[in-house]
Structure 1
Amino acid sequence: MRRVVARFENGEDASDAEDDLREADFEPERPDIENPFFDPSARPPEARGLLWGGLIGGIVGVAVLLAMAMDMIWFPRLSPFLTAGRLTLVTFGFSIGVAVGGFVGGVWGMLRGVPDPEGPRVEVMVPDARVEDVRNRLRDHDATRVDDAVTHHGSG
């Protein structure tokens, strides 16, 4: 079984989607999710932190190792790295920068609060075989976001 949650711009579209799902023998409801981390339609804040932290860290890592290769800055213990070629230095600098920046960005994102969901939501429990049908029905009623999460596995 899957739990499909859709977000809408206005209540009229959400009501139309609920009516359509009832006609198709589903039981939609308006979810009351107190913790946004359990809402499959909420974007986790750490994702944005990981992306920007990784990109900025990668660029800084490349810049630092290239500056070391061109003798613009010097760190005594890191100088053996400079025996590598420039492509190796760029790759290594980018990799280390992405790892450090992604970690810092992810932690920063986790410290931020999860934004409150905007607009009404509709939730429906669906067997795995009918998930695409429900997702298409919700999109037909102008859902701005449709996500699902597995609730449990089993026959049914």
Structure 2
Amino acid sequence: MRRVVARYDDPDDATEAAKDLRSEGYDPERPDIGNPFFDPSARPPEARGLLWGGLVGGVLGAILLLAMATDMLWFPRLSPILTAGRLTLVAFGFAVGVAVGGFVGGVWGLRKDVPEAEGPRVAVSVSDAEVGAVEDRLRTHDPTAVDDAAT
């Protein structure tokens, strides 16, 4: 079983979506989710932290190893990796920076509060085979987000 949740800006759209689902034999509900981490239509805050942390970390890592390759910086323990070419060092610095920055950004994002759900939502529990049809039917009423999660 999967739970499909659609978030709308307009309450009338949510009402029409619920009527449409009822006419097809589904039992929609207006979910009252106390914890936004269990709302599949909510965007988790760590996603933004992962994205920005990975980008900033990747750029800083590439710059750091490029500076080491051009002899602008020198770290005694890291000097053996400088036997690689400049392009390899920049790629390696970017990869390590993305990993470290993404981790730090994700942890930073988890420490932030989850934003409150905005707008009315419609949820329905369906089998795995019916998820696509229900999502398509909900999308006909202009939702801002439609997501599903296993129940």
Q: Which residue of 2 aligns with 1:51?
A: 51
**TM-score for both structures, normalised by structure 1:** 0.93
* Partner secondary structure for residue 143 of structure 1: coil
Q: Does 1:123 align with 2:123?
A: yes
Task: Please give the alpha-carbon distance, in whole angstroms, between the structure 2 residues aligned to 1:68 and 1:127.
Answer: 56
Aligned equivalents of 1:74 and 1:127: distance in 2? 59
Aligned to 1:73: 73
- Aligned-pair Cα RMSD in Å: 0.9
C-alpha distance in 1, partners of 2:120/2:63?
46
Aligned-pair identity (%): 70
Runs ≥4 residues deviating over 6 A: none
Q: 1:91, CA displacement in angstroms?
A: 1.6
SS of alignment partner, residue 57 of structure 2: helix
Name the residue aligned to 1:15: 15
Structure 1 unaligned runs (5+)? 152-156
Secondary structure (helix, strand or coil) at the match of 2:144 reads strand
1:90 is aligned to 2:90: yes
Instruction: Check if 1:40 corresponds to 2:40.
Output: yes
> What is the CA deviation profile of residues 64-106 of structure 1, one whole-angstrom value per residue up to 9, with x for unaligned ones?
0111111111212212221111122112111111111011000
Distance in 1 between the 2:103 and 2:87 partners? Answer: 24
Q: Which residue of the partner structure matches residue 28 of structure 2?
A: 28
How far the C-alpha of 1:14 sits from its partner, in A, is 0.4
Using structure 2 for the length normalisation, give the TM-score.
0.96
Give 1:72's aligned amino acid: M
SS in 2 for 1:72: coil
Shift of 1:132: 1.4
Unmatched 5+ stretches in structure 2: none
Compute the displacement of 1:6 (Å). Answer: 0.2
How many equivalent pairs are there?
A: 151
Task: Give 1:5's aligned amino acid.
Answer: V
